[in-house]
Structure formats: C-alpha cells, structure tokens
Amino acid sequence: MIATGTSQAMTARDGRRWTLRPGRPTDGRGLAHLFAKVRAEGRWLITTPGAVSEPSEAFWISEMIRAGEHLVLVAEADGEAIGNVLVTIERGVATEHIGILSITIADGWRDVGIGSEMVAAAQRWAIERGLRKVSLGVFPDNERAMAVYAKRGFVREGLRRQQYRTAQGFRDEILMAWFPEEPEPGAPDR
Ligand SMILES: CC(C)(COP(=O)(O)OP(=O)(O)OC[C@H]1O[C@@H](n2cnc3c(N)ncnc32)[C@H](O)[C@@H]1OP(=O)(O)O)[C@@H](O)C(=O)NCCC(=O)NCCS
C-alpha cells in the first residue's frame, strides 16, 4: 500500500531510484519547470507552450500546496521533480465529491512504472478523502496514458469532440473516470 502523507523510497522498473512524496510549497519552481518542459513537447497537455509563465505558475502551485485542499504528489530523483500527480477537488456542493486528476512524468522517466505508482497513490488519497469519483480528460492519441488509467480501473465516460484548439488544430478529448466504491477489475487494493 502506498501512503500519501509520507516520503517513500521507490525503485523504477529499470532499477533507478526515485522518491514519492507529498508536495511542499517550495516545489513550485520545480513543478512549473517540469510542466513547461512537458508542454514544450506539444503533444500531451492541454495548455500550450508559453501560455503560462513559469514564475507565475510556480507561485500558483506553491500557493495551492500551501492551502492544502488538493492532492499534490511529487516524484523526485537526484533532487529534481521528475513527476507530479495532482487531484483537485471540484468546488460547489453538487460536485465536491469529484476529484480531477492530472499527471505528468518527465521525458526520460516514462514507461518505468512511475506513472502507475502515482495514479495508485492518488487513488489511495481519494479513498481516504471520501471522494466518489475521480475524473480526467485525455487526448485520444495518448495511448500510454489511457493504458495506465485503464489498468488502474478508470473507465471511459465519453468523448468531447473538438474540445481544444491546439497548435495541431482542434482536438477531441476522451473523458475517463474511476469510482472508488465501484471497483473494476484491476482496481487498487484498499
Ligand atoms: C502518461 C504517463 C503519465 C504514464 O506514466 P508512465 O510512468 O510513463 O507509465 P507507466 O510506466 O507506469 O506505465 C505505462 C504503461 O503504458 C503502456 N504503454 C506504453 N506505450 C503504450 C502505447 N502506445 N499503447 C498502449 N500501452 C502503452 C506500457 O506498456 C505500460 O503498461 P504496463 O505497466 O502494463 O507494462 C507519462 O508517460 C507522461 O507523463 N506522459 C506525458 C504527459 C502525459 O501524457 N500526461 C497525461 C495527460 S492525460
């Protein structure tokens, strides 16, 4: 079982060591830099490169972590943030049972099991937090991300066509969700 409140030493599938730990307010800069690098790949994330300045995003992330309302987990290796999973709680009485998950692993650290571990940790937190639903959106060509979500028990909920205008043109978004109280095959141990 993966705890979400403490640091945990982890070993990637290729033998490299990394640490899974809660985000700290001082992670703002490191996480903003990670997001900027992954955005610059231009394929995976909704926000376009340069749409948010790194310093303002760093400030915003630090403030979010300080507020403590949402889940921010960091994957760290050699003192650098190499991954992040975020679960933000929806606002409003009608939707505060829902968390929105987003995840980013640095290029060079993908396909060695880190993303799957981080989604599992987010699911543990969602159960502890009493959420009824964890939702996410993913571009239809992001087969690796969808494979990870499906492996962790997320199911497809729908398709929003031409939902985002990106440098590659208009792109559809697949909606997926996981329901902690309705475990699917492959859902995490509890
Ligand atoms: C998507 C992402 C979070 C996954 O994390 P990861 O650490 O790379 O994933 P893992 O190593 O835990 O697992 C990858 C799985 O996908 C599978 N996979 C890889 N490429 C695949 C493909 N093209 N089609 C299907 N499955 C694929 C791997 O075999 C592996 O499955 P397994 O564990 O059963 O062997 C990470 O790659 C990432 O951050 N990518 C860039 C940003 C991004 O896409 N974020 C998500 C936006 S919705």
Instruction: For the domain covering 8-178, report its CATH number.
Output: 3.40.630.30
How many residues does the structure list for the chain?
A: 190
Q: What residues pair up with 81 in beta bridges, in sequence order?
A: 76
Ligand 1: distance of its center to the CA of 114 in Å? 9
Tokens, residue 177 = 């969700």
Residue 75 has pLDDT above 60, yes or no: yes
Residue 183 has pLDDT above 60, yes or no: no
To which residue do tokens 């690796």 refer?
144
With a 6 A CB cut-off, is 164 part of the ligand 1 pocket? no
Average pLDDT of 23-40? 97
Gyration radius (Cα) of the chain, Å: 16
Please, is 34 exposed, middle or buried when counting C-beta atoms within 10 Å of its C-beta (0-12, 13-18, 19+)? buried
With a 6 A CB cut-off, is 63 part of the ligand 1 pocket? no
With a 6 A CB cut-off, is 34 part of the ligand 1 pocket? no
Q: Which amino acid type is present at position 62? A: S
The answer to whether 132 touches 177, Cβ cutoff 8 Å, is: no
Q: What Å distances lie between residue 100 and 44, 70, 85, 97, 135, CA to CA?
A: 17, 10, 10, 10, 5
For ligand 1, atom 38: residue with the closest CA = 105
- The interaxial angle of helices 54-67 and 28-40, nearest 10 deg, is 130
CA–CA gap between residue 46 and residue 56 (Å, rounded): 18
* Adjacency order of strands within the sheet including 133-138: 8-11, 17-22, 71-77, 80-89, 98-105, 133-138, 169-178, 155-166
With a 6 A CB cut-off, is 44 part of the ligand 1 pocket? yes
- Taking only the tens place, the pLDDT of each residue in 136-177 is 999 999 999 999 999 999 999 999 999 999 888 999 999 999
Contacts of 167 (CB under 8 A, 6+ apart): 42, 48
Q: Which amino acid type is present at position 79? A: G
With a 6 A CB cut-off, is 105 part of the ligand 1 pocket? yes
State residue 187's pLDDT score: 53
With a 6 A CB cut-off, is 47 part of the ligand 1 pocket? no
The answer to whether 65 touches 72, Cβ cutoff 8 Å, is: yes
| DSSP annotation of 47 | S
State residue 5's pLDDT score: 75
Beta strands in the chain (DSSP E): 8-11, 17-22, 71-77, 80-89, 98-105, 133-138, 155-166, 169-178
Tokens, residue 11 = 């070993």
Average pLDDT of 85-97? 96
